[in-house]
Amino acid sequence: MPEGGKGGRAMNENKKKTGFGKQLAELHRWNGWLVVLLAVTGLVLSWGAVRGWLGEGRVWIKQLHIGVGVVSGILLVMYAPLMRRHWKQIRNRPSQKRNLSVMLILLVGWLLSGIVLWQFRHLPPRWANNALVVHDLLTWVGMPYILFHSITRIQWMRRPERRTIRAEAGESAEALQPGGYRSPTRHNGLRVASS
Protein backbone atom coordinates (compact mmCIF):
# COMPACT_ATOMS: atom_id res chain seq x y z
CA MET A 1 0.00 0.00 0.00
CA PRO A 2 1.46 3.41 -0.93
CA GLU A 3 2.63 5.71 1.83
CA GLY A 4 0.74 8.86 2.71
CA GLY A 5 -2.12 8.18 0.33
CA LYS A 6 -0.05 9.13 -2.70
CA GLY A 7 -1.50 6.25 -4.68
CA GLY A 8 -4.93 7.89 -4.74
CA ARG A 9 -3.47 11.17 -5.95
CA ALA A 10 -1.42 9.42 -8.63
CA MET A 11 -4.52 7.61 -9.81
CA ASN A 12 -6.44 10.88 -10.03
CA GLU A 13 -3.59 12.50 -11.95
CA ASN A 14 -3.71 9.68 -14.49
CA LYS A 15 -7.36 10.35 -15.26
CA LYS A 16 -7.75 12.90 -17.99
CA LYS A 17 -9.75 15.84 -16.69
CA THR A 18 -12.17 17.48 -19.10
CA GLY A 19 -10.84 20.89 -20.11
CA PHE A 20 -12.69 24.10 -19.43
CA GLY A 21 -13.42 24.75 -23.09
CA LYS A 22 -14.75 21.23 -23.60
CA GLN A 23 -16.99 21.60 -20.54
CA LEU A 24 -18.43 24.81 -21.97
CA ALA A 25 -18.87 23.24 -25.41
CA GLU A 26 -20.64 20.23 -23.93
CA LEU A 27 -22.96 22.41 -21.81
CA HIS A 28 -23.67 24.56 -24.87
CA ARG A 29 -24.48 21.51 -26.99
CA TRP A 30 -26.82 20.04 -24.36
CA ASN A 31 -28.47 23.40 -23.77
CA GLY A 32 -29.04 23.84 -27.49
CA TRP A 33 -30.80 20.50 -27.85
CA LEU A 34 -32.86 21.07 -24.71
CA VAL A 35 -33.98 24.49 -25.98
CA VAL A 36 -35.01 22.90 -29.30
CA LEU A 37 -37.04 20.26 -27.44
CA LEU A 38 -38.58 22.90 -25.17
CA ALA A 39 -39.45 25.06 -28.19
CA VAL A 40 -41.16 22.19 -30.02
CA THR A 41 -43.11 20.96 -27.00
CA GLY A 42 -43.98 24.51 -25.94
CA LEU A 43 -45.27 25.43 -29.38
CA VAL A 44 -47.35 22.23 -29.54
CA LEU A 45 -48.82 23.02 -26.11
CA SER A 46 -49.74 26.57 -27.07
CA TRP A 47 -51.09 25.77 -30.54
CA GLY A 48 -54.87 25.89 -30.24
CA ALA A 49 -55.58 23.75 -33.32
CA VAL A 50 -53.52 20.87 -31.94
CA ARG A 51 -55.29 20.73 -28.57
CA GLY A 52 -58.34 18.92 -29.92
CA TRP A 53 -56.65 16.06 -31.70
CA LEU A 54 -53.88 15.57 -29.12
CA GLY A 55 -56.34 14.67 -26.38
CA GLU A 56 -54.63 12.95 -23.48
CA GLY A 57 -51.28 13.14 -25.29
CA ARG A 58 -51.22 16.82 -24.38
CA VAL A 59 -50.72 15.87 -20.72
CA TRP A 60 -47.70 13.74 -21.68
CA ILE A 61 -46.24 16.56 -23.75
CA LYS A 62 -46.77 18.98 -20.87
CA GLN A 63 -44.96 16.61 -18.48
CA LEU A 64 -42.12 16.21 -21.00
CA HIS A 65 -41.90 20.01 -21.31
CA ILE A 66 -41.71 20.38 -17.52
CA GLY A 67 -39.10 17.62 -17.19
CA VAL A 68 -36.90 19.07 -19.91
CA GLY A 69 -37.26 22.49 -18.28
CA VAL A 70 -36.02 21.06 -14.98
CA VAL A 71 -33.02 19.48 -16.76
CA SER A 72 -32.35 22.87 -18.38
CA GLY A 73 -32.33 24.40 -14.90
CA ILE A 74 -29.81 21.77 -13.79
CA LEU A 75 -27.58 22.78 -16.72
CA LEU A 76 -27.77 26.40 -15.56
CA VAL A 77 -26.67 25.30 -12.09
CA MET A 78 -23.80 23.33 -13.66
CA TYR A 79 -22.77 26.42 -15.65
CA ALA A 80 -22.81 28.75 -12.61
CA PRO A 81 -19.32 27.80 -11.30
CA LEU A 82 -17.86 28.22 -14.80
CA MET A 83 -19.49 31.59 -15.47
CA ARG A 84 -16.85 33.88 -13.96
CA ARG A 85 -14.01 32.23 -15.89
CA HIS A 86 -16.10 32.18 -19.07
CA TRP A 87 -16.87 35.89 -18.67
CA LYS A 88 -13.13 36.63 -18.31
CA GLN A 89 -12.40 34.53 -21.37
CA ILE A 90 -14.76 36.60 -23.54
CA ARG A 91 -14.00 39.98 -21.93
CA ASN A 92 -12.63 41.41 -25.20
CA ARG A 93 -15.54 40.10 -27.28
CA PRO A 94 -18.52 42.41 -26.74
CA SER A 95 -20.83 40.52 -29.10
CA GLN A 96 -20.23 37.25 -27.25
CA LYS A 97 -20.76 38.97 -23.89
CA ARG A 98 -24.02 40.45 -25.17
CA ASN A 99 -25.13 37.05 -26.51
CA LEU A 100 -24.29 35.36 -23.20
CA SER A 101 -26.23 38.02 -21.28
CA VAL A 102 -29.29 37.70 -23.53
CA MET A 103 -29.22 33.90 -23.34
CA LEU A 104 -28.89 33.90 -19.55
CA ILE A 105 -31.80 36.35 -19.23
CA LEU A 106 -33.92 34.16 -21.51
CA LEU A 107 -33.02 30.90 -19.78
CA VAL A 108 -33.42 32.21 -16.23
CA GLY A 109 -36.65 34.00 -17.18
CA TRP A 110 -38.08 30.86 -18.78
CA LEU A 111 -36.99 28.77 -15.82
CA LEU A 112 -38.47 31.04 -13.14
CA SER A 113 -41.72 31.72 -14.99
CA GLY A 114 -41.95 28.02 -15.87
CA ILE A 115 -41.60 27.06 -12.21
CA VAL A 116 -44.43 29.44 -11.30
CA LEU A 117 -46.60 27.97 -14.09
CA TRP A 118 -45.73 24.45 -12.99
CA GLN A 119 -46.60 25.18 -9.35
CA PHE A 120 -49.57 27.47 -10.09
CA ARG A 121 -51.87 25.64 -7.64
CA HIS A 122 -49.62 26.61 -4.74
CA LEU A 123 -49.32 30.29 -5.69
CA PRO A 124 -51.73 33.22 -6.02
CA PRO A 125 -53.54 33.42 -9.41
CA ARG A 126 -51.91 36.76 -10.19
CA TRP A 127 -48.48 35.11 -10.11
CA ALA A 128 -49.55 32.47 -12.61
CA ASN A 129 -51.09 35.05 -14.95
CA ASN A 130 -47.98 37.23 -14.85
CA ALA A 131 -45.72 34.20 -15.27
CA LEU A 132 -47.68 33.16 -18.37
CA VAL A 133 -47.27 36.64 -19.88
CA VAL A 134 -43.52 36.62 -19.12
CA HIS A 135 -43.09 33.05 -20.44
CA ASP A 136 -44.93 33.89 -23.67
CA LEU A 137 -43.08 37.18 -24.14
CA LEU A 138 -39.72 35.49 -23.65
CA THR A 139 -40.77 32.80 -26.12
CA TRP A 140 -41.84 35.18 -28.87
CA VAL A 141 -38.73 37.33 -28.40
CA GLY A 142 -36.34 34.48 -27.57
CA MET A 143 -37.16 32.00 -30.31
CA PRO A 144 -36.28 34.34 -33.22
CA TYR A 145 -33.12 35.38 -31.33
CA ILE A 146 -32.10 31.76 -30.76
CA LEU A 147 -32.77 30.90 -34.40
CA PHE A 148 -30.57 33.85 -35.42
CA HIS A 149 -27.93 32.71 -32.88
CA SER A 150 -27.95 29.17 -34.27
CA ILE A 151 -27.50 30.28 -37.86
CA THR A 152 -24.74 32.79 -37.07
CA ARG A 153 -23.00 30.34 -34.70
CA ILE A 154 -22.71 27.78 -37.49
CA GLN A 155 -21.13 30.40 -39.76
CA TRP A 156 -18.91 31.65 -36.92
CA MET A 157 -17.66 28.13 -36.09
CA ARG A 158 -16.47 27.67 -39.66
CA ARG A 159 -13.92 30.45 -39.08
CA PRO A 160 -11.29 29.06 -36.67
CA GLU A 161 -9.77 32.49 -35.97
CA ARG A 162 -13.08 33.56 -34.35
CA ARG A 163 -13.23 30.68 -31.88
CA THR A 164 -12.59 31.28 -28.22
CA ILE A 165 -11.66 27.62 -27.79
CA ARG A 166 -8.55 26.94 -29.82
CA ALA A 167 -7.26 23.69 -31.29
CA GLU A 168 -4.91 21.72 -29.04
CA ALA A 169 -1.17 21.91 -29.57
CA GLY A 170 -0.06 20.00 -32.64
CA GLU A 171 -3.56 19.95 -34.04
CA SER A 172 -4.52 22.20 -36.90
CA ALA A 173 -7.64 24.29 -36.52
CA GLU A 174 -8.85 22.92 -39.85
CA ALA A 175 -8.84 19.38 -38.42
CA LEU A 176 -11.59 20.30 -35.97
CA GLN A 177 -15.20 20.32 -37.04
CA PRO A 178 -17.59 22.94 -35.58
CA GLY A 179 -18.64 20.56 -32.80
CA GLY A 180 -15.01 20.05 -31.77
CA TYR A 181 -14.70 16.70 -33.53
CA ARG A 182 -11.80 15.75 -35.77
CA SER A 183 -12.53 15.65 -39.44
CA PRO A 184 -11.47 12.46 -41.21
CA THR A 185 -8.18 13.42 -42.83
CA ARG A 186 -5.04 11.52 -43.71
CA HIS A 187 -3.08 13.59 -41.20
CA ASN A 188 -5.00 12.51 -38.13
CA GLY A 189 -4.85 8.80 -38.73
CA LEU A 190 -7.90 7.95 -40.79
CA ARG A 191 -6.85 6.47 -44.08
CA VAL A 192 -9.21 5.31 -46.72
CA ALA A 193 -8.07 2.21 -48.55
CA SER A 194 -8.50 2.49 -52.26
CA SER A 195 -9.86 -0.57 -54.01
**CATH number for position 119:** 1.20.950.20
Interacting residues of 95 by C-beta distance below 8 A, sequence separation 6+: none
Residue 162 lies in a domain: no
Residue 169 lies in a domain: no
Residue 107 lies in a domain: yes
Q: What is the mean pLDDT of residues 80-107?
A: 90
Q: What is the mean pLDDT of residues 148-159?
A: 75
Q: Residue 182's beta-bridge partner residues?
A: 176
Residue 195 lies in a domain: no
Number of structural domains in the chain: 1
State pTM to two decimals. Answer: 0.68
Q: 71 with 111: CB under 8 angstroms?
A: no
- What mean pLDDT is reported for the chain? 77
Domain span at residue 50 reads 21-157
| pLDDT for 97 beyond 50 | yes
Residue 39 lies in a domain: yes
Cα separation of 188 and 191, whole Å? 9
Residue 83 lies in a domain: yes
| pLDDT for 71 beyond 80 | yes
| pLDDT for 179 beyond 80 | no
**Helices (H) then strands (E): counts for the chain:** 6, 0
Q: 64-88 burial by CB neighbour count: b if 16+ within 10 A, else e? A: bbbebbeebbebeeebeeeeeebee
Residue 96 lies in a domain: yes
